[in-house]
Structure 1
Amino acid sequence: MNDLKRRLAKILAEKSYKEGDFTLASGKKSDYYFDCRQTALHAEGSWLIGNLFFEMIQNMDGAGVGGMTLGADPLVTAVTVISHEKGRPLPGLIVRKQAKGHGTGQYVEGLANFSQGDTVIMLEDVVTTGGSVLTAIERIEAAGLKVAAVCCVLDREEGGRQALEEKGYALHSIFTRKQLVEAARS
């Protein structure tokens, strides 16, 4: 495991990973909660996530990155900034949970940075069942773009990978729960 990943694990364990009794967005009960926003909005955490995602996607076919608001907002921003810094600028887009109630009424923000048919790599903080990212993918494809892959900070290993694969999308994760806990302890 590289130093960036090890450092990110420590910050995630400190700021984002909590054990207890929780109800997830999917409605499932869990003995832990992972609030990635706490790390993604931390200066070093954001920088680490941006670099690790950029490393993960640099050889993928993608004209840019995108994700569902609110969890993906800091992830998309981190990758777009790092991609510019690394000399391979990737624009970003954000998918709204509700269509904009005024103006264009659109679900997807950032489309001016893409052309019809461009390929997007989806970023997600946590994948549990895959439901949120599949909704975001539907909206991106309805806007005339294609999705190359999905990348997440944490794969909870609770069916999301399989749900995405059934729809033809590969899931790449920085960590699984076991990997995160082990890395944070090392």
Structure 2
Amino acid sequence: MVEPLARDRTRLLELLTERSFERRRVVLSSGKESDFYIDCKRTALLAEGHFLIGRLFLDAIRREAPTAVGAGGLTLGADPLASAVALTSYLAGQPLHAFIVRKEPKGHGTGQWIEGLSALGPGAPVAILEDVVTTGGSTLKAIERAQSEGLKVLGAFALVDRLEGGREAVEATGHRLTTLFTRKDFIP
């Protein structure tokens, strides 16, 4: 009998392959050129994809960062991921609050960098979420901003590691990177 999370992982990979993966030349946010692209939002914004991402990330966070009380990352890639984890965790009776790290401080009002910070509290242990890791730049920005706002980062979690140095960059800062998939799942 196949365990439910293994079935969920297989189905999420199918959705990512069908909806999010493309073999074409692109320039990535890191500035690097690539012959393939993975737009995880195409899957994360599907009802089924949202559910599967929430379940699989929640499982990974509970294994690797069991004391986390929140999950979030740099907008826009991490927004649906944080939402998925928050909803799924609540339904599972193990609520994790979502938060969003802005790329720039809010231009009015409080000028805050992190949305959802008030639900977490000072020194709250959190997990950083990312859709695709290439160089690790976005993940590192999210970690740095979360720490500067007083959060305790327990680790980073990504849907896909492109295997282009991002893991090494993140782990060089002393943070673990846990990924659900790698480039090898899409390009054997």
TM-score range relative to shorter protein: over 0.9
Q: 2:25 aligns with which of 21, 24, 27?
A: 21
TM-score (norm 2): 0.94
Task: Report the secondary structure of 2:126's partner residue.
Answer: strand
Task: Report the secondary structure of 2:81's partner residue.
Answer: helix
User: Which residue of the partner structure matches residue 53 of structure 1?
Assistant: 57
Offset from partner CA, 1:31-51 (integer Å, 9 cap, x none)? 100100000000101101100
Are the equivalent residues in 2 in contact too, given 1:13–1:181 (CA < 8 A)? no
Asked if residue 116 in structure 1 is aligned to residue 116 in structure 2, the reply is no
Task: State how far apart, in whole Å, the 2-side matches of 1:65 and 1:110 are.
Answer: 10
Are the equivalent residues in 2 in contact too, given 1:17–1:35 (CA < 8 A)? yes
Are the equivalent residues in 2 in contact too, given 1:130–1:164 (CA < 8 A)? yes
User: Which residue of the partner structure matches residue 40 of structure 2?
Assistant: 36
Asked if residue 174 in structure 1 is aligned to residue 180 in structure 2, the reply is yes
Give the C-alpha shift of residue 115 in structure 1. Answer: 1.4
Task: Report the secondary structure of 1:58's partner residue.
Answer: helix
Report the AA paired with residue 19 of structure 1.
R
**Once the two structures are aligned, what percentage of the paired residues are identical?**
50
Q: Which moved more, 1:80-89 or 1:133-142?
A: 133-142
Q: 1:62 aligns with which of 64, 68, 90?
A: 68
Task: State how far apart, in whole Å, the 2-side matches of 1:110 and 1:16 are.
Answer: 28
User: Which residue of the partner structure matches residue 83 of structure 2?
Assistant: 77
Offset from partner CA, 1:34-85 (integer Å, 9 cap, x none)? 1000000001011011000011111323111011100100000000000001
Aligned residues: 182
With CA pairs under 8 Å and 6+ residues apart, which has the higher RCO, 1 or 2?
Answer: 1
User: Which residue of the partner structure matches residue 133 of structure 2?
Assistant: 127
Unpaired runs of 5+ residues, structure 1, are none
Task: State how far apart, in whole Å, the 2-side matches of 1:56 and 1:114 are.
Answer: 20
Unpaired runs of 5+ residues, structure 2, are none
Task: State how far apart, in whole Å, the 1-side matches of 2:114 and 2:86 are.
Answer: 17
Give the C-alpha shift of residue 2 in structure 1. Answer: 1.2
Q: Which moved more, 1:117-126 or 1:58-67?
A: 58-67
Give the C-alpha shift of residue 181 in structure 1. Answer: 4.8
Asked if residue 8 in structure 1 is aligned to residue 23 in structure 2, the reply is no
TM-score (norm 1): 0.95
Report the AA paired with residue 178 of structure 1.
K
Q: 1:147 aligns with which of 121, 134, 153?
A: 153
